[in-house]
Amino acid sequence: MPPHPLDDDVQLNFTYPLYKHETNAWLSSTEAFVRGVFACGKGADKKVQARVKAIFGYTPEDGYLVICDRTLFCPTGEQLCDLGLIHSHYSTPEEGPNTVFTVQDVRKKLTDEVYDHFGLYEPGVVYHLGTFEPSHVPFRVHQAVMQQIDPERRLLHSRTHAAGHLIAVAVQRLHLRGALSGDLTFNGVDRSPNLVVELGGMLDRKHRQAKRDIQREINEIISKNVRLETRRWNWQEALERGVRLPPKSETTIELMRVITLEGNEGLYLCGAPFVANTGVVGRVQIKKLTVHKKEEVTRIEYSISQNAP
């Protein structure tokens, strides 16, 4: 049996992550080229259905999987995915686009599951799952299309995600000043059921006081409206600049994507679209701090204001 195009076609094995480039990340629309279109609802190819189930955890009734050569749509990972539209070019402005695809979910299939999130040109495919308007003909392979994300949703999720990283920066600052003991490393931001930053290691101070200190520190980081910058460093460069890195043996990434605060402070790895200044994050509230002795982690629950400042 010949290999299935989902596994065999080289054009379906990589999507260029436009959402990771600071110059492109905040565009709300861009042109892209379709590389694959697969029906995945009832009666569809079993292999496609199985792939969709494995990646998304479900298969929608009338869904299609669309793969492009590049994408502005950030897939769900540490940050919830972008939603929006992919549409064909307008034939005439009066006519409007003749095919509209509504993106309902976006995921990425990584080839290096754990640390690809931090790479810049990481391998992997971004899958857009959604539906075509009932009377519209699905895209053709190689067709030029426009991708359009919902900018408000992007902003909310970027603020949420950035807040998690900045809480970790606040903890690091307090630790460096000797105001918090316990050497904590940033493990990640979890969204469910509540927003939680997980730090590897245990705080060994009175929790109530630590919570107040972290709240004060994060307030300061945000009120100073510090610029956030994206750098691309290889392993050695990142190591020399004091970035906390996963074991080298666990990643094949050439260039790491590192976010810094002005003056190279608060260095950390991140693969999500990022806000330009800390002030954009708005009010962050530290809600709960718990130390888990068995797992040797500290979890900080937080919330952000719904509206951007």
- Interface ranges with Zn ion (CB under 5 A): 78, 270, 272
- The smaller minimum CB distance to Zn ion, of residues 110 and 179, is found at 110
d(CA 288, CA 85): 38
Q: Write down the least CB distance from residue 132 to Zn ion, Å.
A: 32
- The smaller minimum CB distance to Zn ion, of residues 29 and 187, is found at 187
Full 3-state SS string of 177-220: CCCCCCCCEEEEEECCCCEEEEEECCCCCCHHHHHHHHHHHHHH
- The smaller minimum CB distance to Zn ion, of residues 87 and 257, is found at 257
| Residue linked to tokens 């590049």 | 70
Q: Write down the least CB distance from residue 98 to Zn ion, Å.
A: 38
Residue 245: exposure state from Cβ atoms within 10 A (0-12, 13-18, ≥19) = middle
Q: Write down the least CB distance from residue 230 to Zn ion, Å.
A: 11
- The smaller minimum CB distance to Zn ion, of residues 34 and 270, is found at 270
Q: Write down the least CB distance from residue 266 to Zn ion, Å.
A: 13
Q: Write down the least CB distance from residue 293 to Zn ion, Å.
A: 26
Q: Give the pair of three-digit tokens for residue 58.
A: 């479900």
* Contact of 30 with 145, CB cutoff 8 Å: no
- The smaller minimum CB distance to Zn ion, of residues 66 and 228, is found at 228
| Residue linked to tokens 């495919």 | 125
Q: Tell me the residue number closest to Zn ion, measured at CB.
A: 270
